Amino acid sequence: MINSAPGGLLKLRGRNLAPRYAAAEAVPLPREMAGTMVVVNGLAAPLFEIGEDFVVIQVPYARADQWIITARRGGTESRPLVLASVEALPEIVEVRRSGGDGLEIFATGLGMTDPPALSGAGGSAEEPYHRTILPVRVLISGEQGEVEIEPAYAGLQPWIPARYLVQAKLPAGVSVGQVRIKVGEALSAPVAF
């Protein structure tokens, strides 16, 4: 079964989902595009983009045992798609070096935040920041092996829906290698830096 975490991104495929391509142009993300709405556990999901055969949505920031998803267009509703809900499903989308020994890790699927985030909106650019509830660890692999460190920050990136920022300091002597993030018990795939 496919999994998704609260606040995660999903690209769903189907037929006749929309009459044309459309993409969100502003934040907060729209809940309807080109006459199409996607409903997740009874809530209209924020839409990133939509086409005739696909839709990219943000799963609501909510605790659930499963996600029941339907698409609605012109009075017609799709059959429900049921996905398993997990606390976190981290995926690194970009890694940047910052200020010498700093590392900025951009990711999705880190789960619930405190304070609670609004689906379709990005994180706050000022206190109170939307920090992750689950503990986050950064695993750095280099020539000396793997080191686990606590990040300086792990939470939503300001103004960008569903995107998290994890900031960490590289251990002394490490300049290249691979990074993974661990959120609760969930582990991302490694990405080179």
Query: Does residue 55 sit in the same domain as residue 72?
Result: yes
Query: Does residue 96 sit in the same domain as residue 126?
Result: yes
Query: Does residue 168 sit in the same domain as residue 103?
Result: yes
The pLDDT tens digits of the residues spanning 62-90 come to: 999 999 999 999 999 999 999 999 999 99
Query: Does residue 24 sit in the same domain as residue 100?
Result: no
What is the total count of domains within the chain?
Answer: 2
User: What is the domain range of residue 124?
Assistant: 91-192
Query: Does residue 117 sit in the same domain as residue 187?
Result: yes
User: Who's near 85: CB < 8 A, 6+ residues apart?
Assistant: 3, 4, 5, 6, 63, 64, 65, 66, 67
The pLDDT tens digits of the residues spanning 162-188 come to: 999 999 999 888 888 999 999 999 999
pTM above 0.85, yes or no: yes
Inter-residue contact 49 to 34 (CB < 8 Å): no
Strands 136-142 and 145-149, bridge-based pairing: antiparallel
Check which CATH number belongs to the domain holding 58 and give it: 2.60.40.10
Query: Does residue 111 sit in the same domain as residue 174?
Result: yes
Q: Angle at CA 46, nearest 5°, toward 14 and 131?
A: 125
Query: Does residue 48 sit in the same domain as residue 97?
Result: no
Q: Per the structure block, which two tokens stand in for 163?
A: 């995107």
DSSP state letters, 139-153: EEEETTEEEEE--SE
Predicted pLDDT at 166 = 99
